[in-house]
Amino acid sequence: MKRSIARIAGIAGALGLALTATGCGGSDGGSSSASGKGSITFWGWAPGYEDAVAAFNKSHPDLKVTYQAVQPGAKGGYQKMLNAVKAGNAPCLAQVGYETLPSFAAQGALKDVTKYASADQGDYQSAAWQSVSLGGAVYGAPVDTGPMALFYNKKVFDSLGLKPPVTWDEYREDAKRIHASDPHRYISSPYLDYDYAGLAWQTGAGWFGVQGDAWQVTMASAANKRVADYWQGLADDKLISGAPMYDQAWYTGIGNGDIATVVGAVWQAGVIKGGAKSGSGQWAVAPLPQWSKGGGQVGNAGGSATAVLKGCDNPEGAWEFAHWLGTDRDAFGGLVEKAALYPAAKKLLDLPQLKGGDPYFGGQKIYDVFAAAAPQVNSSWTWGPLMTKTAADLDDGLGKAWAGKGTIAGALSGAQDKTVSEMKKQGLKVAE
């Protein structure tokens, strides 16, 4: 695989166009006919996917999809997929997070389905389509997105006469008021990897880009330093809780009001509701604060695609199902109910499952906030080719920074240096 990685920059551009010309052997993931019918296999882990596949098979008798549940990507699913591609027995389709898709491209694990997909581009939000389109090729169908907003404890805010902040400057002032009201209260908690990436994403402070046939790595840019210094200031002023996100202490703080906000993606609603039941009725959702009033830009955190893996011999059938999964109203309604997924398809933003009031959030129709945010997601973001390592190195630095043993800007700079070193080691061309 390392030889194919080295070819990406020199032969077909930094984003992996060589994938369309080289294979990793045959696959038992699909069989095809001239019309693209037949059978395909799909690996994933999201709740509700198995039911969606059953519904597809019932309504599409000429194309049979076999669903096989695997471990979530970071817990072994991705490695299983890559091993299968290398062995030549991968399924046609796999659930792959947007942040990981370029890494699959760099390892020669994806198949270009532009021929079948291009006509459906208009069905999706632009940022989601951008996430599956690398170097002019399309490697899968968007499923869900993670537009961000501000979750806030309305009970705490109301008790202090505060309204949801419109700008990040107002957010800082609210943080001071909240902590001054009780030394155990904090505005927020530490952010790591892809949650932190969403903060940079909003501003257009990208981490990766392409210059000619080479990768650019810009995690230490001036734009990124601006975001880092803002959050560093909150940490230095002791306004950030020490409770790591998703630890029990974090859920406890959300439940009792000691952590007053969560800057997060739409799916955080399910996380908060499930882990901090004692906070029911106290929380609400507001638009993401802007760097200047009327800024109108939103970050994204999370989301995945139904990717077509290298070796799939029924790409037409694979695209037919992948597109259906992300655009069928009944199927996606089930995914909202079972997995709290938020659609990447524009026509699904009015699903009835997204219109009701939520008792946990005081009866607020919270998805209205995310429906307004989704079109504002900055579509210029590009993930790098080695995100597993990049995220691990960044988390190491961020963990130390939040604990006062370094800086957030330093964590970004360190992750950039290590990423560039590894990219060069693997033969990827990097713009200086």
Tens of pLDDT along 207-247?
A: 999 888 899 999 999 999 999 999 999 999 999 999 999 99
CATH architecture of 148-300+381-425: 3-Layer(aba) Sandwich (3.40)
pLDDT at site 7: 31
Cβ contacts of 121-125, under 8 Å, gap ≥ 24: 123/323, 123/327, 123/345, 123/346, 123/347, 124/326, 124/344, 124/345, 124/346, 125/344, 125/345, 125/346, 125/374, 125/375, 125/377
Let me know if the fold of 2-145+303-354 is the same as that of 148-300+381-425.
yes
- Torsion sign over Cα 375, 377, 380, 386: negative
Amino acid identity of residue 337, one-letter, is E
Q: Is 200 exposed, middle or buried (0-12, 13-18, 19+ CB in 10 A)?
A: buried
Please state, in angstroms and rounded to a whole number, the distance separating the CA atoms of residues 351 and 131. 23
Give the residue among 190, 150, 148, 191 at the shortest CA–CA distance from 303. 148
CA dihedral 76, 82, 88, 94 (to 10 degrees): 80
- Give the residue ranges of DSSP H helices in 182-221: 193-203
Instruction: Characterize the bridge pairing of strands 148-153 and 261-265.
Output: antiparallel
What DSSP designation does 289 have? P
Residues 6+ apart with CB under 8 A from 295: none
CA dihedral 218, 224, 225, 227 (to 10 degrees): -170
pLDDT at site 14: 52
Instruction: Characterize the bridge pairing of strands 93-97 and 304-308.
Output: antiparallel
Please state, in angstroms and rounded to a whole number, the distance separating the CA atoms of residues 114 and 93. 15
Contact status, residue 421 vs residue 2, Cβ threshold 8 Å: no
Please state, in angstroms and rounded to a whole number, the distance separating the CA atoms of residues 252 and 240. 15
Please state, in angstroms and rounded to a whole number, the distance separating the CA atoms of residues 48 and 42. 13
pLDDT at site 47: 93
HSE-CB of 323 using CA atoms within 13 angstroms: 18
pLDDT at site 22: 31
Contact status, residue 200 vs residue 207, Cβ threshold 8 Å: yes
Predicted confidence pLDDT, tens digits, the chain (432 residues): 333 333 333 323 454 433 333 333 344 455 544 444 799 999 999 999 999 999 999 999 999 999 999 999 988 999 999 999 999 999 999 999 999 999 999 899 999 999 999 999 999 999 999 999 988 899 999 999 999 999 999 999 999 999 999 999 999 999 999 999 999 999 999 999 999 999 999 999 999 998 888 999 999 999 999 999 999 999 999 999 999 999 999 999 999 999 999 999 999 999 999 999 999 999 999 999 999 999 999 999 999 999 999 999 999 999 999 999 999 999 999 999 988 899 999 999 999 999 999 999 999 999 999 999 999 998 889 999 999 899 999 999 999 999 999 999 999 999 999 999 999 999 999 998
Please state, in angstroms and rounded to a whole number, the distance separating the CA atoms of residues 168 and 293. 9
Task: Give kind and range of the element (H or E) at residue 104.
Answer: helix 101-106
Contact status, residue 172 vs residue 179, Cβ threshold 8 Å: no
Q: Which residue do the tokens 């630890």 mark?
A: 247
The domains of the chain are located at: 2-145+303-354, 148-300+381-425
Task: Give kind and range of the element (H or E) at residue 265.
Answer: strand 261-265
Beta strands in 271-321 (DSSP E): 283-286, 304-308
CATH 3.40.50.720 assigned to domain 2-145+303-354? The reply is no
Please state, in angstroms and rounded to a whole number, the distance separating the CA atoms of residues 123 and 280. 36
